[in-house]
Structure 1
């Protein structure tokens, strides 16, 4: 697989952050035809983890608010739209939407990036409970948690794209 094809295919696994796929390819972490979920995920995560804190912050900031203005305007990436819809975030009551909006605003003001959680398999109640718990974390704790969630989202996206073995 050539670089452009690899980046085109995997550049969106980390939300709006194709530099992760570019570096994984350039660092020769992933080559050949035997691309599996585990292999590609390990390569992309390795790049993400050695990226500067500012670059990782940029990856976090590239994620949309949950049930936020981009969702309402229909401007989410296809992956984000499917993920949020799968958790029922496209069907919030007015009261639930108001609570998500309030939490999104408070969280972003406190931490400087949006609340990130791998929503697959979670209900909106699960997500809201995690939101309300995590907003009390320190910035250091939450940065680490959000980075872990980004890695989990990447894994889930890759599972829909590649064989696992």
Structure 2
């Protein structure tokens, strides 16, 4: 069994820049061997959902803008970089980049957190379409949608780290 520090080191970034979720899951005894993607995801998700609205907002705000300034500066986490590159967001035309920048700004101004979507398997056009649809949502609906997307991203990251069965 991984000890606490090893567990947090390995899984603390599954929820972007939010190791407190892994800490709480481990401390609550929710993590059991054999470690599987579904088991660790269930433990982490339970603690994410139990976090205060302010803490969950902090998790949302820890996510980078899609094709935003962190990506341009090469300052994304490795997971975020790979996820965005997989959707082609690292190869946008100047016009596409301008559209993403405008949507990122409008969305963040409206909701107070960045647009979050699990980009795996999506194209830049799929992402833009979702962006344009979701920006019309109310704040509560969009907060719930963003939280669900964060959980999906965590699941995808865990699937790349752990086997489903040992």
Partner of 1:5: 6
Partner of 2:32: 31
Q: How far off its partner does 1:73 sit?
A: 0.1
SS at match of 2:164: coil
SS at match of 2:104: helix
Partner of 1:71: 71
Partner of 2:87: 87
TM superposition score normalised by structure 1:
0.99
Kept in 2: contact 1:134–1:142 (CA 8 A): yes
CA distance in 2, matches of 1:11, 1:127: 27
Partner of 2:149: 149
Q: Deviations over 1:68-106 (max 9, x none)?
A: 000000000000000000000000000000000000000
Partner of 1:56: 56
Kept in 2: contact 1:88–1:124 (CA 8 A): yes
CA distance in 2, matches of 1:38, 1:66: 27
Q: Deviations over 1:46-87 (max 9, x none)?
A: 000000000000000000000000000000000000000000
* Structure 2: runs of 5+ lacking an equivalent: none
Kept in 2: contact 1:13–1:154 (CA 8 A): yes
CA distance in 1, matches of 2:108, 2:29: 36
CA distance in 1, matches of 2:161, 2:74: 23
Moved over 4 A (4+): none
Kept in 2: contact 1:20–1:44 (CA 8 A): yes
CA distance in 2, matches of 1:50, 1:21: 13
Aligned residues: 164
Q: How far off its partner does 1:31 sit?
A: 3.1
* Structure 1: runs of 5+ lacking an equivalent: none
